[in-house]
Structure 1
Amino acid sequence: MDPDPHDALGDDRTLLIVDDDKPFLTRLARAMETRGFAVDTAESVEEALAKAKSAAPAYAVVDMRLGDGNGLDVVSAIHEKRADCRAIILTGYGNIATAVTAVKLGAIDYLAKPADADDIYAALTRTRADRIDPPENPMSADRVRWEHIQRVYEMCERNVSETARRLNMHRRTLQRILAKRAPR
């Protein structure tokens, strides 16, 4: 007989999902409800802080960058009210410094977007004894570098000169990298 997946959640199954991407928020909320969570959603830091202060959830999935602020503020506020909350930060702009900050503020995991519902559920219910299997096909170092350059390029609104300045790279070198296909 298969074990009930809802047993991993415990008695309090309240989950707050905070993301300003409405379609993603709706899909994730539905997926988490089918996995046994009592889901509440917020689309801004302000809305999430209000919900966290009135009733801090047992679980939280919080986007790092929101239209009105930083998701780390939400994680911090939740942990002030409820220290045992299992919070996860989702981000498309991952780096080591923010991952460390997220963990210091109480997040249990830090997932890069796009993360699917299975990844998020696994991260929320994982115990310290569970080991994460390394990915079968991890990105190469060249691909990680290329992805980072693309992210900064988009953040700079596709301005090559500004991107090159922020990456401390010569503009022509950056232009050559941008002209090539993505490495595998």
Structure 2
Amino acid sequence: CYLALAKGALIPRHVLILPIGHYQSVVEVSSEVLEEMEKYKSALRSFYKSKGERCVLFERNYKSQHLQLQVVPVPLDRCTTEDIKEAFTVQAQEQQIELMEIPQHTDLKQIAPPGTPYFYVELDSGEKLFYRIQKHFPLQFGREVLASEVVLNIPTRADWRECKQSREEEENDCKQLRDDFQPYDFAWED
């Protein structure tokens, strides 16, 4: 696995955890890849905490060929984990999306066999919300919720295409992230 800055990031330090092999979703990865993804999640939680931020992760396995685990930092002083959970729940209800809470130690593979389209959110409390996609699903749903007034209050950044940066800005952000994250990066130790 490796980290990459999200193209059209919602906010600075919005990253993706990406497996090196070709996988469509988290439920299809091997136990070794899953273990490495968990290490990155843990490292990112510690990293964001040091910056006064909480960590929200989401994955949309729908109309996509490649697994992308989105990891978005939310400043602690912006809102609580409960506010974020409620924002996802309320916006889901408004769009007839039935997000269900899944037990903390439940493996996604237990509820979503490979090939199942789904949307999944993991909050910094460890709480997990899941939706098995039936027909239509808004592709930007995770971003829309996090960009909403309740959470990050940057509604104009919900669509990643509106957040393009120049190559130079991307390179500067990448270098900054690499330098800042290095003390938390377990891959440097291997």
Give the structure-1-normalised TM-score: 0.31
Say which structure is richer in helix: 1
Report 1 or 2 for greater relative contact order, CA contacts < 8 Å, sequence distance ≥ 6: 2
Choose 1 or 2 for highest CA Rg: 1
